[in-house]
């Protein structure tokens, strides 16, 4: 494991304050922060030791966010205090693996995207379900910048594939892209390879939020015998930055779903999704205000007011009960989040009319 020469004091390696209090502190704060993400595939011999060191260093300079560390590398979404941004760069420069690292700065962010620092050790930084030792993750597709991407998407022999989950592509995607109706990346890999079995002579263009999933996806497609495989360098986040900086045509329609408190950043003014409760055009993802449900869904402003930010009448009625009554009844109740969860809420989406009748939505 690499280390830096900077010594940091021994501090708690986890958050000790209640999450609700931390969230409220962040909402009330006027501190200027920068939201960003990065990933790096690199060999880490001792992920636990690496995790502990990185936690201490980030905690020291006020970094918040969600980070996954594994032997294959690091995947991070962060919020950094503006006044400590140079200190953050100094920390990153202390690691050989982070040299010349691209930082994806968020498109729309007020810096309140995270309210805790969480670093977890995982088997992989992207769960891919691949266990074949013959798979070579380094044999990736050709990386394309925004200009090259736009040019190749105009080629009639090109197929564009969204390598994100269905709830991400529902609110925004590239023009004419294939958007698989899948809930997990591990499901999407074999699904896409099978779906495109008859398109091996085509240009296969793959994209995701920041590029990390396409590193695996493009390598997997080559592993499955596809040769003309390309991936969008830096994902949607970097594409949007280049389009604006260079005055290029924007071929992404709608919102880019992000995995922080914002749940989305607008790339184009188009609203292509619909409220999961009433069906009007809407693309605002929310988690049900009932903490015992917490299901992720799309809700318009009218329904947000009518249902008190909840996914159903049942949840709306529940959160208006006294807290002691909620605590007593919660263990015996089943909410939409108990049934579907984030990755499978498509059942909620597709069955919305039935649920309105059967469950009081």
Residue 25's nearest CA partner among 88, 114, 85 is 114
DSSP symbol at 83: G
For residues 227, 232, 235, 239, the Cα torsion angle rounded to the nearest 10 degrees is -170
Distances (CA, A) of 227 to 26, 128, 155, 215: 47, 20, 17, 15
Beta pairing partners, 117: 65
8 Å CB contact between 35 and 111 = yes
Phi, psi of 69 (to 5 degrees): -120, 135
Ordered strands of the 203-207 beta sheet? 142-144, 229-232, 203-207, 158-162
Beta strand 33-41 pairing with 73-81:
antiparallel
**208 flagged as catalytic:** yes
Geometric angle at alpha carbon 153, from 147 and 154, rounded to 5°: 100
Report yes or no: 223 and 136 within 8 Å, Cβ to Cβ: yes
Query: How far is residue 50 CA from its own chain's centroid?
Result: 23
Within the chain, what is the greatest distance between any pair of CA atoms? 63
Report CA-CA distances (Å) from 214 to 66, 134, 205, 344.
20, 19, 10, 22
Q: Write the CB contacts of 108 (distance below 8 Å, at least 6 apart in sequence).
A: 262, 265, 266
Start-to-end C-alpha separation, the chain: 52
The DSSP letter of residue 102 is P
Of 208, 293, 300, 315, which residue is the catalytic one? 208
* Cα separation values, 85 from 181, 299, 304, 327, Å: 39, 35, 36, 42
Catalytically active residues are 208
């Amino acid at each position: 494991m690499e280390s830096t020469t900077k010594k940091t004091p021994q501090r708690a390696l986890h958050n000790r304050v209640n999450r609700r209090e931390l969230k409220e502190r962040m909402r009330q704060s006027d501190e200027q922060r920068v939201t960003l993400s990065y990933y790096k595939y690199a060999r880490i011999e001792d992920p636990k030791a690496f995790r502990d060191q990185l936690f201490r260093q980030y905690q020291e300079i006020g970094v918040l966010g969600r980070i996954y560390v594994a032997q294959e590398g690091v995947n991070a979404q962060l919020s950094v205090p503006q006044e400590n941004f140079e200190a953050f760069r100094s920390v990153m420069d202390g690691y050989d693996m982070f040299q010349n690292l691209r930082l994806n700065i968020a498109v729309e962010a007020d810096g309140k995207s995270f309210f805790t620092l969480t670093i977890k050790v995982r088997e992989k930084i992207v769960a891919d379900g691949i266990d074949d030792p013959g798979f070579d993750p380094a044999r990736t597709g050709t990386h394309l910048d925004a200009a090259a991407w736009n040019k190749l998407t105009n080629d009639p022999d090109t197929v564009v594939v969204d390598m994100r989950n269905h709830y991400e592509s529902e609110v925004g995607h590239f023009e004419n892209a294939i958007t698989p109706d899948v809930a997990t990346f591990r499901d999407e890999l074999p699904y896409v390879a099978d779906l495109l079995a008859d398109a091996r002579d085509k240009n296969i263009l793959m994209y995701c939020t920041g590029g990390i999933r396409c590193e695996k996806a493009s390598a997997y497609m080559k592993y499955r015998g596809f040769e003309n495989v390309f991936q969008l360098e830096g994902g949607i986040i970097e594409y949007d930055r280049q389009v604006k900086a260079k005055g290029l045509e924007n071929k992404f329609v709608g919102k880019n779903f992000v995995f922080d408190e914002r749940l989305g950043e607008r790339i184009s003014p188009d609203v292509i999704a619909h409220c999961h409760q009433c069906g009007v055009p809407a693309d605002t993802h929310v988690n049900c205000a009932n903490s015992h449900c917490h299901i992720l869904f799309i809700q318009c402003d009218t329904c947000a007011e009518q249902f008190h930010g909840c996914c159903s009448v049942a949840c709306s009625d529940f959160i208006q009960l006294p807290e002691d009554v909620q605590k007593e009844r919660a263990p015996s109740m089943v909410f939409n989040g108990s049934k579907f969860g984030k990755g499978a809420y498509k059942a909620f989406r597709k069955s919305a009319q039935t649920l309105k009748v059967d469950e009081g939505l």
